[in-house]
Structures are given as structure tokens and as C-alpha cells.
């Protein structure tokens, strides 16, 4: 198959939602359709020890939440699909934000009973800023929930989206009969049997047909006709161009747990979702069709295999072909690196690939060369934008709880920070280490992983910091900057890259500092170059 046709058949997307909307379950059902797995894991059930395929960290299995982004791939109808299943929990939002730099489109999952929730709003906002095409999947229709039209209104108002229903429910909750698929013009009947791979689909081109009454009963048939008439009157027709530009969002209804409505979503997605897209670097726009390979690291995961202290850097391929055992330029280090065993993923199963194409995600064995945001090329100096560190919201001193294991502790902290789990700041005054996170749950994860993966124990001590700001002086030699460093000495720290950070103890302090030192800029993300 030619290079161009390999690009055409790639689809790389992320699944985002508030926790518990059914994101991981949907991921599993998509894998079932792709024939990648034979049996889905019950994500929440403790009785069934088979955890969700995409949750492979022990702490994820215990809590039933996704902590890190999983990378999964499968083939469906000749299309190569790469899924990035992201954490929904707000304490892990930074991982999700970074992952959104590596996807070409997104599926937003919404719980039918809870509607649009806070975390969904934040994530959709990031997608809208980047004009990422979005598909909406309203999940858990077999449970009692909000009216379909109310949900569509909520999606439009709270998320600022322009929706276009591609399927519509017939009944809901205990009265749920199935779905009418506006995209394929057929009725999909709900039996409630989650073991069935594909539900019964009956082709109905004409909704006035008496066949509809036989399938769903008189009242449901009349309701459906009225609803579809309303849908056609209120909502715009599907326009692929508008969807690809982020101006229109198709909506599907279903129940991922019962494997219902998932095939319709997948069939439509494969047809309309964007192939790998061009990406902006600091130097120029890079198109996937270019012959020379380029890619960037958007995630690092330590200890994928607890028996070996290994780290994997996840690289999104932007252009050209990535070939095994070929030297590529690591732009930040300005040196060539060769990779003998690049991995493709299916959850915890990895296989070595000889060649990968734009849109694919490969995992590269890493001994500490990579940081998030690093670029690999065939020789051209390029720097991809958009993988920032955000200003943390929680700060604690980290202390060594076992002096015999200080080497393991520092190695563990070093590797976990490279993953982007949290951020490490070293105080200028006394060299104490401070860990900043987006959410408090991250501290538990760090403590757990340090103990179980590195054999090191840590304790925390509270630190009163309101915000961490990266400092950018207009002139590092002027008296104002020297005065700032002298006066604010005990609030200054360096991040892992050696950039100066101001740890403000309150909003008031930050505002007063900005007024007193006008020549210094304070940034809430690390990417201000």
C-alpha cells in the first residue's frame, strides 16, 4: 500500500468526558468491534478481577478511574484507528490537555442522567480553542435520564456547540426501545443483552411505514415520527466541512455498557473523521504528506513493565515514515538517536513495528533522553508547539520517609516528573523540593507509585502557595530584576528545566509584585517563548 493511502486510512482520536460518564467502557466496546479483544473487562466490578483493558496501572484498577492516558490501536473495515483514552478525573486534567495536542478529532461522552458536567466543559473549551472536530456520544440510555431535546439544548448552551443529531432514542430508561439512526435510516432495537455483539438492525427508509408500529408499538412510533420531524426542523443537516472545521458536532445516542449504538457511532466516525492533519511548529506548518519524518513526544510513561525499570516516550508521528533502526535527530539535544524496538500498542500488549505512518503513536524505549514536547526529525530543526506545563494549584514539600532509600526516591521523583504527573520546583533559598499538582489526588498516586515501583517512601508537608508563575525578565541584568530576586528570594524556585518560578502565596502578593516590577512578565504556563 502506498504512503499516501496509508495516511488516508489513519484516524487518531481522543475520548474525553467527566469521570464516570462511561469513557473507558466505550473504548472497550470500540475495541470489541475492531476484533482487538474478545471480552470486555467490567471496569467497576471488584468481583470480576479482569480490569478494563485500557486501565493497566494497579491504582486505576483499585479505584475504577483512569489515571494515565492509554494508547490503543485496532483495524476496522480497512481503517487503522488509534484511540487515546484520557483520564476524566479533574486531578489528572493536565495529562488530558497534553493528549489533546496529539489527536486529530475527539469523541465527547455525556451521561444521560447527569448531562453536561464541569470537567466536560473545561475539556471541550480546550478542543474549541484548537478547532478540533468533535463527535458527541450521549451514553447510558438504558437508565432513567434527561429528555433527549433537553440534553441537546444543554450541549449547545453549556458547551457552546452547534449540534446535529445523527441518531435519536426511542423511549428511555425502563421504557427504552432502541434508536433510530438518521445517518443510515434504520431502526436499531434494544434487547438489553450486553453479550450480543451487534443488535438487530431493521432498515426503515420511510417512517410513515406501518412496519414501525410492529417494531416499537403505536405510542413509541408516533412519538418517534414527531421527534424526527422536530429534529429535521430545528437542527442543521450534517455538513462534513463544518464538522471538520469545528463548526458542527454530530450527536449519537447509545449505551456503551450494553454495546448499543456503538457500531453506528464507529461506522459514521470512520467515514467522516479527519485523516491526520497538518501541525503548526514554531518554524512552519508541517503537512503529513511530507516525505521527511517528524514527530513529537506528548507523554512519557515510566514502568510500563514493573519488572523492568523502563520508560516509554509516546511519539505522535506528524509527517513522513518512522522506520525502525533509522537514526533521527533529537532536536533539543542536537544528537542522532536510533530505535531498535519501537512499540505499537494494544493496552498492555505491545508489539514491535518496523514502520509507522502519520497519525500513528509509537512508544520508544527511553533511558532519560526525552521530555514532554521534544521533537524528532530527519535532520530539520523543528519545534512543535502546544505541549505546555500548566500552573499547579496544589503545593507540598516532599520529604524522604526512609533515609536508606534516598537514591531510589530521587530517581523515582525524577522519572515521574518527566512523565508530567506533577511538577517539581527546587527552592532557591534552601534547595528543598516542592511538588506542584493540578489536583490533590495526584499526591496519592505519586506516593503509591514511589513505593510500589521504586521501593521509596515519602511524606508531604503543606506549603502555602497560591500560584506558581514562570518569570520572564525583559532584561535579566537590570536593577529591577536584581531587586526582585533579592526581595522575593524565599519565594523563588527553579523548575525541572531550570526556568525561574515565582511561588506567590496569595493573589494579592502576585498583583502587588506585578505592579512593583513592571518590566517582569509572569506566566501561568511554561510555554511562553
Taking the C-alpha atoms of residue 156 and residue 486, their distance in angstroms, rounded to an integer, is 51
Taking the C-alpha atoms of residue 154 and residue 289, their distance in angstroms, rounded to an integer, is 39
Q: What is the per-residue pLDDT for 497? A: 79
Q: What is the per-residue pLDDT for 56? A: 44
On whether residue 51 sits in a domain, the answer given is yes
Q: How big is the CA angle at 272 (ends 271 and 274), to the nearest 5 degrees?
A: 115
On whether residue 222 sits in a domain, the answer given is no
Final residue of a structural domain among 248, 272, 296: 272
Give the dihedral of Cα atoms 47, 50, 51, 57; nearest 10 deg: 120
Taking the C-alpha atoms of residue 491 and residue 437, their distance in angstroms, rounded to an integer, is 18
On whether residue 260 sits in a domain, the answer given is yes
pLDDT, averaged across the chain = 80
What is the pTM assigned to this prediction?
0.74
- Please indicate, yes or no, whether residues 267 and 284 belong to a single structural domain of this protein: no
Residue (of 243, 226, 214) closest to 106 by Cα position: 243
- Please indicate, yes or no, whether residues 258 and 333 belong to a single structural domain of this protein: no
Cell numbers at residue 119, please? 470537567
CATH code (residue 499): 3.30.70.3280
- Please indicate, yes or no, whether residues 106 and 162 belong to a single structural domain of this protein: yes
On whether residue 384 sits in a domain, the answer given is no
What phi and psi values does residue 84 have, to the nearest 5 degrees? -115, 110
On whether residue 449 sits in a domain, the answer given is yes
pLDDT tens-digit readout, 50-97: 445 444 455 555 544 444 446 778 888 888 888 886 664 454 456 667
Number of helices and strands in the chain (H, E): 14, 31
On whether residue 199 sits in a domain, the answer given is no
- Please indicate, yes or no, whether residues 351 and 258 belong to a single structural domain of this protein: no
Taking the C-alpha atoms of residue 188 and residue 324, their distance in angstroms, rounded to an integer, is 45
- Please indicate, yes or no, whether residues 362 and 327 belong to a single structural domain of this protein: yes
Q: Which helix H or strand E contains 487, and what residues bound it?
A: helix 479-487
Taking the C-alpha atoms of residue 324 and residue 309, their distance in angstroms, rounded to an integer, is 22
Q: Which range marks the domain in which residue 479 is found?
A: 394-523
On whether residue 331 sits in a domain, the answer given is yes
Q: How many domains does one find in the chain? A: 3
Residue 205: how many CB atoms within 10 A of its CB? 7
What phi and psi values does residue 308 have, to the nearest 5 degrees? -125, 135
Q: What is the per-residue pLDDT for 68? A: 44
Residue 127: how many CB atoms within 10 A of its CB? 22
**Res. 353: pLDDT tops 70:** yes
- Please indicate, yes or no, whether residues 400 and 298 belong to a single structural domain of this protein: no
232, with CB counted inside 10 A (0-12, 13-18, 19+), is exposed
On whether residue 186 sits in a domain, the answer given is no
- Please indicate, yes or no, whether residues 340 and 462 belong to a single structural domain of this protein: no
Cell numbers at residue 515, please? 505592579
- Please indicate, yes or no, whether residues 461 and 477 belong to a single structural domain of this protein: yes
Taking the C-alpha atoms of residue 316 and residue 86, their distance in angstroms, rounded to an integer, is 15
- Please indicate, yes or no, whether residues 332 and 432 belong to a single structural domain of this protein: no
Reduced to 3 states, what is the DSSP secondary structure of residue 324? coil
Final residue of a structural domain among 272, 296, 324: 272
β-pairing, 328-330 with 335-337?
antiparallel
Final residue of a structural domain among 345, 377, 409: 377
CATH code (residue 319): 3.40.50.300
- Please indicate, yes or no, whether residues 10 and 64 belong to a single structural domain of this protein: yes
Q: What is the per-residue pLDDT for 36? A: 52
- Please state, for a pLDDT cut of 70, what percent of the chain lies above it: 83
- Please indicate, yes or no, whether residues 116 and 36 belong to a single structural domain of this protein: yes
- Those residues whose C-beta lies under 8 Å from the C-beta of residue 108, and which sit 6 or more positions away, are 16, 17, 120, 123, 124, 127, 134, 135, 136, 137, 159, 249
Of 15-19, 142-146, 233-237, 300-304, give the lowest mean pLDDT range.
Answer: 300-304
Of 116-125, 210-219, 322-331, 343-352, give the lowest mean pLDDT range.
Answer: 343-352
- Upper half-sphere CA count for residue 474 (Cβ side, 13 Å): 7
- Please indicate, yes or no, whether residues 289 and 352 belong to a single structural domain of this protein: yes
Amino acid at each position: 500500500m502506498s504512503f499516501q493511502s496509508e495516511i488516508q486510512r489513519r484516524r487518531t482520536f481522543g475520548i474525553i468526558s467527566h469521570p464516570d460518564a462511561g469513557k473507558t467502557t466505550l473504548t472497550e466496546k470500540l475495541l470489541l468491534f475492531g476484533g482487538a479483544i474478545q471480552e470486555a473487562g467490567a471496569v467497576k466490578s471488584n468481583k470480576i478481577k479482569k480490569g478494563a483493558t485500557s486501565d493497566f496501572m494497579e491504582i486505576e484498577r483499585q479505584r475504577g478511574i483512569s489515571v494515565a492516558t492509554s494508547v490503543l490501536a485496532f483495524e476496522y473495515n480497512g481503517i487503522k484507528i488509534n484511540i487515546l483514552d484520557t483520564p476524566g478525573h479533574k486531578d489528572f486534567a493536565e495529562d488530558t490537555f497534553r493528549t489533546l495536542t496529539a489527536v486529530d478529532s475527539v469523541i465527547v461522552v455525556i451521561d444521560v442522567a447527569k448531562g453536561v458536567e464541569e470537567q466536560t466543559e473545561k475539556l471541550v473549551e480546550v478542543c474549541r480553542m484548537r478547532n478540533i472536530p468533535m463527535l458527541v456520544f450521549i451514553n447510558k440510555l438504558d437508565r432513567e435520564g434527561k429528555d433527549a431535546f433537553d440534553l441537546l439544548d444543554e450541549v449547545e448552551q453549556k458547551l457552546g456547540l452547534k449540534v446535529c443529531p445523527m441518531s435519536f432514542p426511542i423511549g428511555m430508561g425502563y421504557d427504552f426501545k432502541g434508536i433510530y439512526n438518521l445517518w443510515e435510516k434504520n431502526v436499531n432495537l434494544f434487547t438489553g443483552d450486553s453479550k450480543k455483539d451487534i443488535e438487530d438492525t431493521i432498515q426503515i427508509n420511510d417512517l410513515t411505514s406501518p412496519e414501525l408500529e410492529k417494531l416499537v408499538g403505536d405510542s413509541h412510533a408516533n412519538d418517534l415520527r414527531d421527534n424526527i420531524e422536530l429534529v429535521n426542523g430545528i437542527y442543521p443537516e450534517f455538513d462534513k466541512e463544518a464538522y471538520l472545521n469545528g463548526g458542527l458536532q454530530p450527536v449519537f445516542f447509545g449505551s456503551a455498557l450494553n454495546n448499543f449504538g456503538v457500531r453506528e457511532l464507529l461506522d459514521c466516525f470512520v467515514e467522516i473523521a479527519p485523516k491526520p492533519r497538518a501541525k503548526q511548529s514554531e518554524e512552519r506548518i508541517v503537512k503529513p504528506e511530507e516525505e521527511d519524518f517528524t514527530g513529537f513526544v506528548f507523554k512519557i510513561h515510566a514502568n510500563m513493565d514493573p519488572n523492568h525499570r523502563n520508560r516509554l516516550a509516546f511519539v505522535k508521528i506528524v509527517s513522513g515514515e518512522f522506520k525502525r533502526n533509522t537514526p533521527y535527530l533529537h532536536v533539543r539535544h542536537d544528537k542522532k538517536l536510533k530505535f531498535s524496538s519501537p512499540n505499537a500498542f494494544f493496552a498492555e500488549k505491545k508489539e514491535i513495528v518496523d514502520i509507522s505512518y502519520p497519525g500513528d503513536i509509537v512508544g520508544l524505549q527511553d533511558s532519560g533522553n526525552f521530555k514532554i514536547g521534544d521533537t524528532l526529525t530527519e535532520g530539520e530543526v523543528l519545534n512543535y508547539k502546544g505541549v505546555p506545563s500548566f500552573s499547579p494549584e496544589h503545593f507540598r514539600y516532599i520529604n524522604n520517609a526512609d533515609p536508606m532509600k534516598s537514591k531510589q526516591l530521587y530517581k523515582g521523583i525524577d522519572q515521574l516528573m518527566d512523565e508530567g504527573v506533577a511538577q517539581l520546583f527546587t527552592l532557591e533559598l534552601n534547595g528543598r523540593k516542592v511538588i506542584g499538582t493540578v489536583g490533590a489526588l495526584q499526591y496519592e498516586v505519586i506516593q503509591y507509585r514511589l513505593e510500589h515501583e521504586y521501593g521509596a517512601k515519602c511524606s508531604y508537608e503543606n506549603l502555602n502557595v497560591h500560584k506558581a508563575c514562570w518569570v520572564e525578565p525583559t532584561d535579566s541584568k537590570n536593577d529591577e530584576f536584581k531587586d526582585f530576586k533579592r526581595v522575593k528570594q524565599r519565594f523563588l524556585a527553579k523548575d525541572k528545566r531550570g526556568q525561574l518560578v515565582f511561588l506567590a502565596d496569595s493573589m494579592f502578593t502576585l498583583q502587588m509584585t506585578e505592579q512593583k516590577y513592571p518590566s517582569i512578565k509572569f506566566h501561568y504556563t511554561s510555554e511562553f517563548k
